[in-house]
Structure 1
Amino acid sequence: MIATTRYQLALLAHSQRYLPPLIAFLAVLGVLYTSRDAPVLPEFAVSGGALLVVTCWLTIALADVEDPAQRLVTLSHTRGPWVLVAAFGLATLACSAVLTVVSLLWATLVHGGVPAAELGLGALAHAACAFTGLAVGLPCSRLLVPRIGYTVVSALLLLAVVLLVRWVPLVNPMLRALAGEQPSAGGVVTALMTTAVALAVSATAVSVRVRFA
Structure 2
Amino acid sequence: MIAMVRYLFTVLLLSQRYLAPLLLFVGLAAVLTSSDSGPLPATYSAVAGAMLLCSAWLTMALIGLEDPPHRAIVVVGAGSHLRVLLGSVATAAAWCLLLTGAGLGLPLVFGTHTVHPADLVLGTEAQLVCALTGMAVGLLCSRLVFRRQGYALVAALVLLLAALLGKGVSPVNLLLTDLQHASASADVLGSTSVLVGAAAALLAAGTAATHAITVRKS
TM-score > 0.5 by shorter chain: yes
- When the two structures are aligned, how many residues end up with a matched partner? 213
Cα drift, residue 181 of structure 1 = 2.0
Residues 162-181 of structure 1: pairs in structure 2 closer than 5 A: 162-181=163-182
Does the CA-based 8 Å contact 2:100-2:124 persist in structure 1? yes
The residue that corresponds to 1:99 in the other structure is: 99
* TM-score of the superposed pair, with normalisation by structure 1: 0.95
The gaps in structure 2 that reach 5 residues or longer are: none
For residues 153-207 of structure 1, what are the alpha-carbon distances to aligned partners after superposition, in whole Å with 9 as ceiling and x for unaligned? 0000000001111132321011111112255222101111111111111101111
The gaps in structure 1 that reach 5 residues or longer are: none
Residues 168-207 of structure 1: pairs in structure 2 closer than 5 A: 168-181=169-182, 184-207=188-211
Superposition CA RMSD, Å: 1.4
- CA–CA distance in structure 2, aligned partners of residues 70 and 113 of structure 1: 50
1:184 alignment partner, SS class: helix
Cα drift, residue 113 of structure 1 = 4.7
* TM-score of the superposed pair, with normalisation by structure 2: 0.93
Does the CA-based 8 Å contact 1:41-1:122 persist in structure 2? yes
- CA–CA distance in structure 1, aligned partners of residues 53 and 113 of structure 2: 28
Say whether 1:71 aligns with 2:71.
Answer: yes
Does the CA-based 8 Å contact 2:37-2:113 persist in structure 1? no
- CA–CA distance in structure 2, aligned partners of residues 185 and 34 of structure 1: 25
- CA–CA distance in structure 2, aligned partners of residues 181 and 126 of structure 1: 16
Aligned-pair identity (%): 34
Instruction: Read off the aligned partner of 1:86 and give its amino acid letter.
Output: L
For residues 60-98 of structure 1, what are the alpha-carbon distances to aligned partners after superposition, in whole Å with 9 as ceiling and x for unaligned? 001011001111011101121111111111111111111
Instruction: Read off the aligned partner of 1:81 and give its amino acid letter.
Output: H
- CA–CA distance in structure 2, aligned partners of residues 113 and 85 of structure 1: 41
Residues 24-43 of structure 1: pairs in structure 2 closer than 5 A: 24-35=24-35, 37-43=37-43
The residue that corresponds to 1:18 in the other structure is: 18
- CA–CA distance in structure 2, aligned partners of residues 168 and 36 of structure 1: 30
For residues 11-51 of structure 1, what are the alpha-carbon distances to aligned partners after superposition, in whole Å with 9 as ceiling and x for unaligned? 11121111111111111121123225222111111110110
